[in-house]
Structure 1
Amino acid sequence: MSLAPSHLSSYSAQLTPQHRLSSHALTRSDPVPVLLKASREPAHAPSFSLRLPREFDATSQRASGRCWIFACLNMLRRSMLGKLDLPASFQLSQSYVFFFDKLERCNYFLDSVIGTAASPLDSRLVQHLLSSPLNDGGQWEMLVNVIEKYGVVPLDAYPDTWSSTASLKMNRFLTSLLRSWAAKLREAIEGGRGEAELEGMKQGYLAEAYRVLVIHLGEPPSSVDFSFHAAKDKLFTRLPSMSPLDFYHTQVPTQTGAFVSLINDPRNPYFAAYTVEYLGNVVGGLPVYYINVPIELLKKYALRTLQAGESVWMGCDFGKHFNRSTQVMDTEQFAHDLVYGVEPEQSKEERLRYGQSLMTHAMQFVGADLPEGREFPTKWRIENSHGKELGDKGYALMTDEWFDEYMYQIAVRKDMVVEDERIKALLDDTSKVTVLPAWDPMGALAE
């Protein structure tokens, strides 16, 4: 049935004076201040019973999708405080990890093109691979692959460039190259080219990709010369020159390979392992490996990690029920029903199934508020990577209710979770894994 004038008249007749008042407000202003509930403001006070000491200056990923790298490197720099009295402004170079992730991802994509040559060009899988071969985002195991292979360096050793902070144009050009190379590789395979010839073609393409990355980001350093003034006594410290890998292994106590990803995906059975098809960056590196657990276990191990004095890398659906200026995530802070007369009603599982929710941003937990008598915190303190100007000097706040609905992943030390025999069994035998399709929302953080 098509819409008729009578339908429109009926819809108009259902508008109440309250709806028209809402229209007067929202046609003249930003919806956020109209929708905000003043009654929720006390719950958003930046006071936490558990707060990690020595907070660093908030960082900014700017106009790039490097949140997963920032969250990880912010976690690693915190672990360095036990060894070095670093100033609050210290950062590890996000661009250094970014460069090698891009280069490795070009190789991973070209290998995937060769590996899917038997599939029709218009198949859903091949079209998915071609749709976005060089995104900025990524997953925990992808961080492990790059950092364990190339190490890390201080920001001063490899600073940001224009294209690392605004990656769109670089990504578009590299993506156009990758698609043209994909066409040539598929044509070569159809023409009967052998494995050695295909590898030769691929190596030529990778040399060109390296050149483009160097032009945009600069050539990464092969050695690290690092000096700083200590935060407390301001004494000057100079470390011996070393390779990026040596710097990582000698100066960063937290090693990324010691962690496991726990997710909360109510669509699938708990205490089972999952991966996502064709989600990766380093050929021959670790595949994405998730252990699916109830949301209470994400809270339990996130809280336990904070109580141990360490921050927690995490992935969530950032932007839902979110106040950008205050950096508050709270499912109860907006009065949608009062203003619109209607409220979306979907469970977490339904939102995943119907495309309303997926992992979109990585940050790290650095604190929590745990009133006496409660099992879990009422709110969580978060170090974001959107600069110092928003929230509490760049730090955000998440309510416990928001955690339930939009938190999807944390990376925690394996030795912390092996107390649970169900998790330990999956860590001992990683062959029992269910493969989710390449376009599954559990892989969306890499996009």
Structure 2
Amino acid sequence: MHLYLHSFLLLLLLLVAASNAQQPSDAKITNLPGANFTIPFSQYADFITVNGSHGRRLFYWFVESQNDPANDPVLLWLNGGPGCSSLAGLFTELGPFYPVDGETLARNPYSWNTVANVIFLESPSGVGFSYSDTRSDYTTGDQQTTQDTLQFLLSFFAIYEQFANNEFWITGESYGGHYVPWLARAVLEWNSMSPANPINLKGFMVGNAWTDPLYDNRGAATFWAQTGIISNSTFSAILRTCNFSDVGPFVTTLGKVAEPGDDCSAAVNQADEEMGDINLYDIYVEACIGTSRDRRHFGNGGVSLFRRTGQRKSSSQDPCIDIYLTEYIVEDSLISPSVTGTSIFTDTYVARTSLKPFMPLNAPIVGVNALCWWTILALICWPQSFHSTSSSSRKTRSGSWSTVETLMEWYLTQVPRNGWPVRM
């Protein structure tokens, strides 16, 4: 166990019972703006303090299961980025509602809370509604994010103690390829140190996980070329000028965001122009383009080449989300008006380890169920790539990967000693 994590867990043993968050009855949402229908489940929204001396607070939105909340599993959902609000997951992906016009909500029949209790956590502080009284907290990394999220979970289950014994799953996407395994390992280490107060972790799930920049970036560019959304000449220029191992989300050098070379930037900007306004999560659907800031900072969560150029037009975000959150959620006092961080994406997060291949981290996570899915054609067992069959096949040929042939058809269980998931 790393020394920093061991010391942190010892501190948590002393602090786990302390939390100044509201009780569930006070955090319960009884009137959700825009929901012109009966909501058949309970939901809660509140802040949990994860560092009292700094005033660091994380915002969560908890939706109980529509099925059997007392016995259904509890899932933690973490959007990636880094810096993406998990309310994007709530309102555009797996949550029970989605905004129609910035004012009205509609029901999502495919919501994950049809079978599970789901916590949507804004993490780290500075993302979404989560905030800190200490400005320096907004420069952070994977280590601090893991510590804060573990503290959040311990406080959450102390407040919602009726769910403390339910099966617990850690889930996420994109930069969740870092968040999720870090947190899974921290939970296991917490459980070994505190057997009287364990978190009932059953496994983790990650979609489109950011894990290895070489394969993720090269696979993304190859996908663009193979689907005809960029020209062969532009693809060749990207291959010739970009060092894929050195391109990642918010790579930092002495606190400054690193930039690719001019030739690489020019090639990627040309690719951006050729793509036009498309949804890179699903190139065959009509894109929903929001503000210019949204186009720069949100969309193809794992395709980090665009993060580096800062000129993306392609977006998977419904522009109605920001309108709904700022004009209805805040103004109707679901969130305190003093909290101003309402954007779906923030660039305050500094991911110091974003370029490190994340495969070795999974080796100690033995005996934990794992599922990794992909959004288009195939499934790669942990970790997996963004958007590209080419990226998947390259990783498989490297000898460290298992390939699952049909999306969501196979579940993965019992990570072997080398750390990679296998089929049941």
TM-score (norm 2): 0.22
- Which structure exhibits the higher relative contact order, with contacts defined as CA atoms closer than 8 Å and separated by 6 or more residues? 1
How high is the TM-score relative to the length of structure 1? 0.21
Question: Quick check: which has more Rg, 1 or 2?
Answer: 1
More helix by share: 1
